[in-house]
Each structure stands twice: as C-alpha cells, then as structure tokens.
Structure 1
Amino acid sequence: MGSRLGELIEEYGVLGAQVAMLNCGNVSSEAAGVLSGRTQVEVTDDSLFKVESITKVWTATLVQHLVDDGLLDLDAQVGDHPPAFPGDQGVKVPDFGNGAIGWGLGWMRYRVGVGHTGVSKGQKAFLRVDVEQKRAVAVLTNSVHSELLAHDVISEFHEQGSTPVPPDKPEPIDAQRMCGTYRDQLYDFGQLPGHTVTTTLPRL
C-alpha cells in the first residue's frame, strides 16, 4: 500500500492500524499511526492488537483440518486429547465450531471470498480470504469505528488480484440447510425458510 495506510488513518480518524497481505505465499505488511493517543507510541509490524472473534473461526478451521486428516474425532470430548483443558468436562470437539463457545455464525461470505470481523473494547479487526486465488488480507485497528478504513484497504487489495469469473453452469446450493436457530450467550439468530434476512431476538 506504500504510504496509503498513513493517509487513510488521517482521513478516517483512526489512531493506528496494521495491514498484512498474503498473496500466493508472499506476505507483506504495513503499519501506521500510534497505539495510544496518550503515550504516542508508534504502531509497528510487531505491535500487538486483539483479533477477538477471528480466533474462533480460525480455531474451528484448524480443527476441521485435523478432522479431515483423520487426526481428530468430531464426536470426541476435548478432555480425550491431552493436554486436557481446565474445566473442559462435557465440552466436545464440535463446540469449537458452534455457538456453544461463541463461534456464532462463523465464516461469512463477502463480495470476494469469506471473512470475519472481531471487536473488542477500543479495537476492531478484519480478516478477508480469497481461497481460490490464495490471497488474504488482515486489517487490525485500535478504533471500533474503522469500517471505512478497512473497506478501502480490502477493496484496494482485491483490485490488485484477478477479477473472479463466475462459472458457466454454477452448481445449485441448498439454502434450506442453513435455516434454523443459531445461538450464542445473549441472542437467538433465526434464519427463516424463504427469507433472505436474519432476525435477531434477545434471549431472556
């Protein structure tokens, strides 16, 4: 991105940000701004940011890789695999990929590829992955109002890649299998048959 990240944090009022890009095995990164308005410590490639919910989808993906390789049983309990986790009684391997430990709806589809967004107090992280082109971009910020900055970075990243071409005869998908209720600690997310919107109801 060159000096573009520095321009974007000023434009959108974000204190600091990191960007990492994966392109066919090659990783590039950039940092700009400061970690804190009080300390004025500059952001570097080694600065630590929270990625929050991104760790959940990342963990679930790695677990599925182990299942695909025959190294892990989805019906097993976490305690069956040493070293055991404290307080893991009754926690099963699939819980790493559902709302039981907070995964929520998991990987989300975007205009190009899939991704997820993580939010914590004062920070927000964005991950987008184009699996077919073997490209990915992560944007880490110390502002919860950094969506526009992330949008610009991610859009520019995708523009650098080749334009995806839809297949002549796309395979049909069964959207009905996604219908149902997804739960986390606070909400029920209901995907209804025949509807393209998701209703959210607070759990009482």
Structure 2
Amino acid sequence: PTLLNNDVELIMDDEKYFTLTNESVSTNRGFYTSDPSTTPSEVKFKRTQKYPAKILVRMAISGKGISKPFFAKQTQAINERTHLKKYIEAGLMPFLNSYHNIEKVLFWPDLTSSHYAASARPFETIWQILEEKVYGGDWEAKTIDQLKRRIQQQLKRIDMKPVQAMFSSIRKQLRKIADKGPFAACSF
C-alpha cells in the first residue's frame, strides 16, 4: 500500500501548548510609559510569573476527523507510561479503531521532519483555527481547568469540512514534494 495510490489512511498527530491568556510573546506583558513618575506603584511593582501556566494539547487528525485530545498540565515532562495510557490507549486507538481500517493506516507522527514542509501538514492551520476560537473576544482563563474546558468546547465547534478538504489535498502536496522537492508545495 502506498499513500499516493489512495490505498492507505493517513493519520497525523501533533501537540500545542495553550496558556491562560493568548500572550505568546512574553515581553508584550509589560507596561510602557513615557513618565515613570506618574505610574501608580501597583502597576510599577506588579508581580508577574516568569513562566506562565500552560497546558499541553495533543491530538490526531485524519480525513475522517479529530481524535479525542490528550491534555497534560505542564508541571513536568510527560513520561512514557502517561503517554501510552492517556494518549495512545485512551485517545488515539479508539479514534483509529472507530473510524479507520487499522490494516491501512499510515501514521505520520509529530516526530518527523515534516515541519520543513508545512504546506504538506495541515495541523498548523487547525491549531490556528482552534486558538482563534479559544481566545476569541479577548477571552482569558483564570485556571488551567477552565482553559481545558474551553479548548474542549471550541474543538467541537470546528467545522470539519475545511479540515477534511485540507487533508484531502495532502496526497497532491506530497506528490509535488516527492517529484520536485519541498519548495514545490509552497505558494509564494
């Protein structure tokens, strides 16, 4: 079976960190003034957390949908057992078994060098759509659990038709990359 002959079912997975607020650049959290003497002391001396609270979201996608997401509060690295039990067994395998022919699955994990050919990998677009939904209207979470609930709600609101359309074009993009190199799939 080969990807280009449509006799495999392509599955991709990826992960992304979400913070309580959508401030991806830490220097943007500051306060700027032309006259520090007029700045109130509660602003001047406000404590900020060096490393903001965040949650890891990991999930898989295919032309048939999105798997149940795996969430991990980021206090320490995810170990092998947690990854196996909570992501692979609880999220990925039920998704594969419910919607795919296991014999024909081609799994493209996040570990590959596909980041060098982002146009052949729709996950970045999906993360962007989800991020816009989660933080839309300047929404901010007070707790990690609140953020997790919001992500789960917004995942359900993603229109799957564009996701499936992006996914269906991957085979053509990969053919271009195989024939002409990674820049062939880019739109300049």
Q: TM-score range by the shorter chain?
A: under 0.3
Task: Give the TM-score normalised by the residue count of structure 1.
Answer: 0.25
Structure holding more helix per residue = 2
Which structure is richer in relative contact order (CA contacts within 8 A, separation 6 or more)? 2
Structure holding more strand per residue = 1
Task: Give the TM-score normalised by the residue count of structure 2.
Answer: 0.27
